[in-house]
Chain A
Amino acid sequence: MAVSWLQRLAARAAVPVFPVRGMHGEEVLYRLALTPGIKLVDSPRHASILLVAGGVPPDQHDALRRVHDQLPGPFATLWYRSEPLDELAGATRLDDPDALPEALKTIHRELMSGKRGSSPRLLPDEPPNPWEGLGDDGHGGKGMMGGVPYGRPMAMNMTDDIRDGLTLDSLTVTLGPFLPMLPPGLTAEVTLQGDLIQSWTTHSAPYPIALESVFFQALQGPVPIAELERARARYHLKRLHFALRLAGLDRLALEALRLAFAPHPGQDRAMALRRRLVRCGFFRLTTTGRGRLDENQARRVGGIAARAPGLEEDLRSRDAAYRRLEFTPIIQGGADTNARWCQTLAEIEQALQLADQAERDAVHTQRSDGVETPRGPWHEQWPEEASDLLDDLLPGLEWDEAMSTLASLDLAPLSPWSLEETSGAPVPTSVEERRA
């Protein structure tokens, strides 16, 4: 009796979903984050549904199996625009983003009421490295140190501390590709001494990010600047949402996302968001001057990372239509994490202000030999993938500094397909359509 009453209560609660962010699967997750009744959680242990959003390359299927088996039972999987693993051939697959929230709620209700069975475990229920029981102290090795308990060597003091000489045992782990605090797809081998990153080796680059189709159209002919700039602001707001969630500022993260999806976001709302970020101390989190890029690195990352330290590299300033709107690139004069976030906020406000101005005067771009994407200039070649920079940038940083630095850098390559093609997101209405 009591159990069925508890089950009914659990079925009515918000659906805890752990999202595995696959290729081009992020857009639908932004929409889910704003859907009432759905709760995106950061650990599989808090979830009842594993949502695989977007394709996962075959070489990362083993990692996906490990994440799948970390959900507590009963749990279910849902595959959004992704092919289920061979062992889960009968699992629910969906391609329609609008049907996703209802499908998640239905699955959760059925799971809680016992109408739906749990997803099967994919990995054998046995210790990954069985206990050997060797040694005087039963630690798997001989002598006091140097054993291999459960087949894994003891964390040993192999390298000198690079902070202040107080050496700790170093702990080596492989992170990703589905760790919520890293860009999706990024895998790295990290050696930690306490909270200090001793070494960082990037193994696989983040998945490509899709831009809105208006950036592709800008390379073929004139497009309304209002559309281009709103798409730019949306892109930066989504990145800001990610960073705010990482900082534990969930309400502000949702506020940033609401602004991104607002039909007509104004500069005043962006300024109000900035004021709230200042009040809650977001900029104080990143004032240690860490994550500093040198000039070559900044130029290689491009976009905001290049403009923040003062490199005025912006293709928009070559366009006569932008010059007519009195556009000048914003710069900050700092190459660290804090300067990049100040630059991001300033560029969001500038983009929304340009969009309002351009919409009033119906201004279109004039040059189509290149376009300044939110990720950097795109004319003869794409903005390049730069995740290998992390190998030099992150060692020596404490974990929180490293994560905020990583969130402030946009290192993923660009996808050859547009956001509308890859995510099924509705194409934003053009200025002409909105006027009509």
Chain B
Amino acid sequence: MELLTLFFIVLIATGLGLLIQWLPMRHQPMPTYPQRAPFLGGGLPETHAWSRFHVRYYPMTLLLIAFEMEMMFMYPWAVVFVEQGMKAVMEMGMFLAILSVGIVYGWREGVFKWQ
């Protein structure tokens, strides 16, 4: 019953949303092609605007996650280590080895250089 109510609410909300968008547009023609072109003060683009953009903070984010995950896992691990002993050390070693790949990658990208 609740699911059916939810379905109707979503249906009505979507319908209203579409209606509100359609009402003012029903007599409006589509903008012409020259109107849709980017405004460059009379100039023209020479390349397509579909370009790849480098997320500049990406290596820094990777490094943060690498160290953050390490610390998050090490606190509970410290408790388990008392019970599990060598087995826990090996597991942590594997985990750190995988994580260090990310750190080495960040190093290669120059994330430790202050710019």
Contact = CB atoms under 8 A, between A and B. Distances in A.
B34 A150 contact: no
Contact of B54 (A154, A167, A173): A167
Given A66-B34, A69-B32, A123-B34, A172 B47 contact: yes
A156 B45 CA distance: 14
Nearest to B44: A174
7 contacts: A128-B34, A152-B47, A153-B48, A168-B51, A173-B47, A189-B46, A194-B54
Nearest to A174: B43
B37 A155 contact: no
A128 B31 CA distance: 14
Nearest to A122: B34
A176 B42 contact: yes
A280 interface: no
Contacts of A170: 47, 51
B39 A44 contact: yes
Contacts of B50: 149, 154-155
Contact of B39 (A45, A125, A168): A45
A166 interface: yes
Interface string A66-91: 11011110000000000000000000
Interface of B: 31-35, 37-54, 56, 110, 115
A125 B32 contact: yes
B101 to A, nearest CB: 21
A379 to B, nearest CB: 35
Contacts of A177: 41-42
Contacts of A166: 54, 56
A136 interface: no
A155 B39 contact: no
Interface residues of A, number: 50
Contacts of A127: 33
A9 to B, nearest CB: 15
Interface in A106-150: 121, 123-128, 148-150
Interface of A: 43-45, 60, 62-64, 66-67, 69-72, 121, 123-128, 148-150, 152-157, 164-180, 182, 187, 189, 194
A174 B44 CA distance: 5
Contacts of A121: 32, 34
A170 B31 CA distance: 28
A406 to B, nearest CB: 13
The 9 closest A-B pairs by CB, nearest first: A179-B41, A63-B42, A174-B43, A155-B51, A169-B51, A69-B34, A125-B32, A172-B46, A155-B47
Given A123-B34, A164-B115, A70 B39 contact: yes
A173 B115 CA distance: 30
Contacts of A149: 48, 50
Nearest to B55: A166
Contacts of A176: 40-43
A14 to B, nearest CB: 21
A182 B56 CA distance: 29
B50 to A, nearest CB: 6
B47 A153 contact: yes
B51 to A, nearest CB: 3
Contacts of A153: 46-48
